[in-house]
Amino acid sequence: MILTVTPNTALDRVLFVDGFAFGATVRARGAADGMGGKGAVTSWVLGQLGIPSLATGFAAGETGRRMEEVLRRAGVIAEFLWVGGETRTNYVLARPCDGAQGTVTVSGLALAPGDPDRLRAHVEALLPRARWLLCGGSLPAGMPPDWYAALIARAQALGIPTLLDASDPVLAPNAAACPTVIKPNAAEAACLLGRPVETVEEAARGAVELRARGIEAVVITLGALGAVAATAEGLLYAPPVPVRVRNTAGAGDGLNAGLIAARLDGADWVEALRRGVAVATAVLLTPGTGEVCADDVRALYPRVTVRRL
């Protein structure tokens, strides 16, 4: 079972607009709903592909109930802890002409002082059922920035591989716990390295440097340039598959889903990266965040290439 942890859960509302300006009325061409929060999105992708997972974290209010129901309809086991406030709604503005997007998000959860420890104990109780642990996304107010680190250490003590997918200020203090895999994008990798990451060559050097810190595999996603992975099997590069992009939100979570599912099947890193990119690319074809079609994944897989650098 793949266990995903999302302390700061959300639903996404995607609005397709040609542009935006303050003081003007902007008419959307269309709208779509999707999952939000990295771990929950990964579970939703897995569920749509028929791969079982268990999703946990905090949830609150009517939005939290809708989020949980979306996951359960996809076949995900949902075991969230309920807290005060309201699970977030993120608003994603997507430009149809080129797939560019931006996200507006606000805090919604209202944690009691004991809630972070309560969630940690809950996750630790679930770990014996897990074969992979994914820690994903931001942390709500009231949680220390290194909150994932203890879970990563506990999982690894039990022999459970871990994947961390988060941005600053959460990424660096939890990457220090040396999860099995980290998957930063270019901007997130730049924060970890203290220098820009703008090209495939810079990403390759950065991935090798980050892996030398004790992380088994470092996958850096580069958007339109593809993805680079530094692994025990060598340095790998997956160029992008040309498609007409509808919405980029959730593509990284699709990559997580494909990588973990492949590794659970015993695939090597070349195959895992190939499957991850196929899922991520399939997500790009859909309007909702993390929405994916298994037929698209199957059709895209033969077009994905992975080469050694």
Q: Is 241 helix (H, G, I), strand (E, B) or coil?
A: coil
Q: In degrees rounded to 5, what are phi and psi of residue 274?
A: -65, -45
Q: In degrees rounded to 5, what are phi and psi of residue 105?
A: -135, 150
Q: Is 12 a catalytic residue?
A: no
Strands 227-231 and 234-238, sheet pairing: antiparallel
289 neighbors 11 (Cβ within 8 angstroms)? no
CA distance 123 to 135: 11
Pair of tokens at residue 214: 């004790």
Q: Which one, of 259, 245, 260, lies nearest residue 296 by Cα?
A: 245
Q: Which of 12, 115, 165, 253 is catalytic?
A: 253
CA distance 110 to 67: 17
Q: Which residues contact 184 (CB under 8 A, 6 or more apart)?
A: 165, 167, 171, 191, 192, 218, 220, 221
Q: Which one, of 215, 218, 296, lies nearest residue 251 by Cα?
A: 296
CA distance 170 to 253: 17
Q: Which one, of 125, 6, 3, lies nearest residue 53 by Cα?
A: 3
CA distance 151 to 250: 24
User: Helix 38-48 and helix 251-264: axis angle, to 10°?
Assistant: 60
Q: Is 276 helix (H, G, I), strand (E, B) or coil?
A: helix
What are the catalytic residues? 253
